[in-house]
Amino acid sequence: MAITQMIGAHIQRREDPKLITGHGNYIDDMRLTGMLHMSVVRSPFPHARIRTIDVTDAAKSPGVHAVYTARDFKPVLAGGIPAAPAFVPDKKQVPNHYPIAESEACYQGEPVAVVLADDRYLADDAAQLVSIEYDPLPAVTDLDRAIEPGSPTAHEGAPDNIAWDAVFPGGDIDAAMAESEVRLKLRITQQRLFPTAMETRGCVADWVPFGNRVTLWSSTQVPHFLRLFISGALGITEAQMRVVANDVGGGFGAKLRPYPEEYLACAGSRLIGRPVKWIETRTESQQATTHGRGQIYDLEVGALRDGTLVGLRITQLLDAGAYVGVFGSFQTCAILLGGGCYTFKAVHGRSLGILTNRVSTDPYRGAGRPEATHLVERMVDLVAGELGLDPVEVRRKNFIKPEAFPHPNNFGLVYDSGAYEKTLDRALEMVGYGDLRRRQKELREQGRYLGIGLSTWVEICGIGPSAATAPAAGVALVESSAVRVHPTGSVTVSTGTHSHGQGHETTFAQIVADALGVPYEAVDIKHGDTGETPFGYGTYGSRSLAVGGISILKSCQKVVEK
């Protein structure tokens, strides 16, 4: 049967054959004439003064063309790596994050020098010859100790380790707790995680002195972001910089920001007058790519004896790392979603962003939303256990009711729709919940333990321009697109989002085919090149189809109107 509507049709992804047959075009596949390879010399200490750097032996090593330190980069690289407002616009302190350390290294793996050589192996060998004299300093790694008076600081001369201390009031928490018949406390630790994309980070930079233009190829989720931030640090306009992200082997949020190596490759290419390539090793990935999570939650829940939830108090200790991540404080959204799918009279949150001598944390796989689910679901189970109630019934009793939608939560975020009881009932039916409980009881009598876990969740995603997201980013988070119909009837679509496994070339072509009534095969999707695509804020937070796809649909509608 012929397919008459592409959206919803069962079709194969059009990008897959290229990728699974080894014809993808990744960063490490790039070869440019005269290209040099960059190796980064990194601090072996979590915190240390840098007394001296001697590059003499490294500079004489075979195949080495240059060895650069912070002093060499200062004339051509003026700016640092920014930190977005991300729900906490009034931060207490944001240490300046210059891409390479000059006098103080603040985490193990922080760049201290770079070597440019004919190949990566010669560069790595020479990097071992850079002689650096360090004075190790006390390192801050424990969140509880970091906020104690008199604790060592992650940066010399800093007043303390508090990057931000933000309060999120969501109702009268004191009154809610006073009304509660049961009050329970729990500490939850969300350990640090490091993203492990199949393709590590990497970049190639090519500076053209005539017109001061640079092209940066990078394994990134956000090419337009990179152009916006790095061009300013280089002292050039956005129009003078082009960022290209070809095929990208996974990101998971870790490639959602500019990194020191991208700044250094661009500046290094400018200094040496040749293209510069850098490919991250797996060890460097663990040391220098941003981590996720790294949080401790001190929680208190108040409830009535019939299982009614009344109040929830959340204190978040967030390990920001040595430098506040570009979107590091976005992780405070764990508080804003801390009430989950339930009604509370009050939810009160406090977030402490804590500087430590570790690599920065930034959004990773949900960025605060999985943490919110974890903490509220554990507290619901805690209440059920304390009161001897079935955790299913405690959830059912406190769910936001279908007639209450659209529902503003305690912090004003509006839940558009939901039928939580129906989904719970369906899940219970699928697993045979009653039989499971009977089986659990039988096994318990035999001294054997069968665990039954329950979880519901709500998630903020599809992040676009709105009153809720503007404070998070400090910008509108718009997406742009351009649709061009050629004389032969074929269509070219340019989008500011970027695909690194999401299947944009398939889904966006489906939208266009239906909107314009053209064959699906006649639609070509272009993305990932700031020189050919309109501005967009990139791919993350389940937003590409919801925001980028709608932009494409609206562009198609304008074509139809013409």
Residue 274 CA, distance from chain mean position? 32
- Confidence (pLDDT) at 2: 53
In angstroms, the CA 524 to CA 521 distance is 8
- 76-104 pLDDT, tens digit per residue, is 999 899 988 877 888 899 999 999 999 99
Q: Which tokens belong to 93?
A: 């302190």
* Annotated domain spans of the chain: 34-459, 464-561
Same CATH topology for 34-459 and 464-561: the answer is yes
Name the pLDDT band for 529 (thresholds 50, 70, 90). very high
Q: Which tokens belong to 272?
A: 């040496």
Name the pLDDT band for 197 (thresholds 50, 70, 90). very high
In angstroms, the CA 264 to CA 276 distance is 9
Count helices and strands in the chain by DSSP H and E runs:
17, 20
What is the helix (H) or strand (E) element at residue 492, kind and residue range? Answer: strand 491-495
**Which amino acid is residue 325, in one-letter code?**
G
The average confidence (pLDDT) of the chain is: 94
In angstroms, the CA 312 to CA 302 distance is 6
Name the pLDDT band for 475 (thresholds 50, 70, 90). low
What is the helix (H) or strand (E) element at residue 370, kind and residue range? Answer: helix 369-387
Q: Does domain 34-459 have CATH number 3.40.50.300?
A: no
Q: Which tokens belong to 305?
A: 């004896």
Question: Cα angle at 86 between 537 and 547, to 5 degrees?
Answer: 30
- 132-177 pLDDT, tens digit per residue, is 999 999 999 999 999 999 999 999 999 999 999 999 999 999 999 9
Query: Region 351-371: what's the mean pLDDT?
Result: 92
Phi, psi (rounded to 5 degrees) for 124: -65, -40
For residue 225, give the nearest of 79, 75, 77, 81 by alpha carbon: 81
- Confidence (pLDDT) at 546: 86
Helix (H, G, I), strand (E, B) or coil at 537: coil
- 440-465 pLDDT, tens digit per residue, is 999 999 999 999 999 998 888 877 77
- Topology of domain 464-561, CATH: Aldehyde Oxidoreductase; domain 4 (3.30.365)
- Confidence (pLDDT) at 87: 78
Beta strands in 171-304 (DSSP E): 182-193, 202-208, 213-218, 241-244, 276-279, 292-303
Name the pLDDT band for 1 (thresholds 50, 70, 90). very low
**Which amino acid is residue 425, in one-letter code?**
D
Question: Cα angle at 330 between 327 and 333, to 5 degrees?
Answer: 170
In angstroms, the CA 326 to CA 81 distance is 7
- Site of tokens 């649709």: 483
Residue 524 has pLDDT above 60, yes or no: yes
> Comparing 128 with 459, which gets the higher pLDDT?
128
Residue 470 has pLDDT above 80, yes or no: no
- Confidence (pLDDT) at 90: 84
- Confidence (pLDDT) at 473: 62
Query: Region 50-54: what's the mean pLDDT?
Result: 98
- CB-neighbour burial class of residue 19 (10 A; exposed 0-12, middle 13-18, buried 19+): middle
In angstroms, the CA 132 to CA 115 distance is 14
Q: Which residues pair with 300 in a beta bridge?
A: 185, 313
- Confidence (pLDDT) at 483: 96
The HSE-up count of residue 299 (CA atoms within 13 Å, CB side) is 28
For residue 529, give the nearest of 289, 211, 247 by alpha carbon: 247
In angstroms, the CA 70 to CA 67 distance is 11
- 326-345 pLDDT, tens digit per residue, is 988 889 999 999 999 999 99
